[in-house]
Chains A and B, each alone.
Chain A
């Protein structure tokens, strides 16, 4: 099995609901708590497994806003695991999930240096590194209804921009989405073969800009008359309905 996420950059609205749901679930999950520093202070900060950034691609009038949620990509060649000196970081052979054994981590930050995606964050309170677990404490939980055995970010996404599944299964939703929509990896040149894939925005023409109707001098004076205005309004209404 090769479990991972597909994120649709076409439909993501950048609402941060996935990040909030992630924080809520995981702060009481297997690698919780996700500590906050001065949550009510002047500069609140803390540990998050999932961060959403917003970009503008291309120039006006072809520009488009891209909201890019990023969490651990569960790379096939996970450098964070390779460099870990203690063996706290590991990649599960059965499903490819990259995890950190909180009892073994010594908080040297080295794995976070090796990760190009900023997926690992040090928790200052526990002194250990923390990262996305792909909700390993949800997806195998047989007490949950089968439809809810998914990462909480996928379940909560209001625009259905996130998919979870097995990339080794060619008939899974994630494999189909990647096939049909040309799913791609971020920063593939680093060579870590990230499992998570992103779906590019659909091809759409540039949005038509509104051009105000040019009004001649005669038309303008005619429009001043109330009757002409009413006639024009009726004509407009009828046209819209047709």
Chain B
């Protein structure tokens, strides 16, 4: 799949924003020892909302006809993209009301609103993952690991932002980095297994070899641009190693060695690593339409 920068930024920034907001809600609900003053708590909620908004705005950049973007809320019953939009928009009034109740109160804000905000964060992150996971046409996405990883990576970035702001809890951040790394490694193992349709089942000739003679079009078209994106195998392996090192190994080592003082470099590494991870998430996904263009398997 073609890795669109707008969609990568959307999932990266809004994911981090939802993760950060979730931790702030959890701190309000269960006191995770973040030692936040009212002002700082509110400031971080605003940071989370800004991250979310930047992400959502980036997502509209890949629309070819954004005039009709408002219609995207109307197919909540069937479409995960619609659900994601609805949850994302519902979150704003709830989070803002919660933010209001945090005003000047060192005991935290309204617990009901904190819980609601948390649930909406999880629902939005889950829906973002399900946008990709529900597509049977892309076997690398069509797995429960996809929404799991979106949630874990969002939470990991959120916890790293917290530590970088000088407020978070290094232990929680380390646990999140470990959990996200584990999820991603399982995912890489899972997509390495051969599965899915082949050129034979795509054309219905399952008892003989099938080869493409001619693709029928002289130059590229929408299908080759959108789905024909291919990266050399060696480059993919390097990028995987870079993303694992940046997203998981370096933040973990920095936090283990220097504690909260290394919060900012750890956060920057995390963002850079997850950016590469998101790019790979698209670049490694192989749509079944490639079978009709001559690929033997996905």
Contact = CB atoms under 8 A, between A and B. Distances in A.
19 contacts: A43-B219, A51-B217, A53-B212, A54-B213, A62-B208, A66-B203, A83-B134, A87-B71, A87-B75, A107-B64, A107-B65, A107-B68, A108-B62, A113-B137, A116-B288, A118-B223, A122-B222, A127-B63, A184-B204
Interface residues of A, number: 61
B208 A121 contact: no
A92 to B, nearest CB: 16
B69 interface: yes
A110 interface: yes
B68 A59 contact: no
Interface string B211-232: 1111111111111001100000
B71 A53 contact: no
Given A45-B219, A57-B203, A105-B65, 7 more contacts: A43-B219, A44-B218, A57-B209, A87-B75, A108-B62, A108-B64, A108-B72
Contacts of B79: 82-85, 110
A187 to B, nearest CB: 5
B288 A55 contact: no
Contact of A187 (B81, B201, B211): B201
Contacts of B69: 106
B41 interface: no
Interface of A: 16, 43-48, 51-59, 62, 65-66, 68, 70, 79, 81-88, 103-110, 112-118, 121-122, 124, 126-128, 184-191, 198, 200
B212 A55 contact: yes
Contacts, number: 176
A198 B215 CA distance: 19
B14 interface: no
B71 A54 contact: no
Contacts of A122: 64, 222, 226
Given A59-B209, A127-B65, A190-B197, A86 B74 contact: yes
B288 A186 contact: no
B210 interface: yes
A191 B137 CA distance: 10
A75 to B, nearest CB: 12
A106 B63 contact: yes
Nearest to A44: B219
B85, B216, B220, most chain A CB atoms within 10 A? B216
A45 B293 CA distance: 16
A86 B202 contact: no
Task: For the complex of A and B, list the 6 residue pairs with the smallest distance between their C-beta atoms, beginning with the closest.
Answer: A107-B64, A127-B65, A127-B64, A58-B208, A106-B68, A86-B71
B65 A106 contact: yes
A85 B81 contact: yes
B81 A79 contact: no
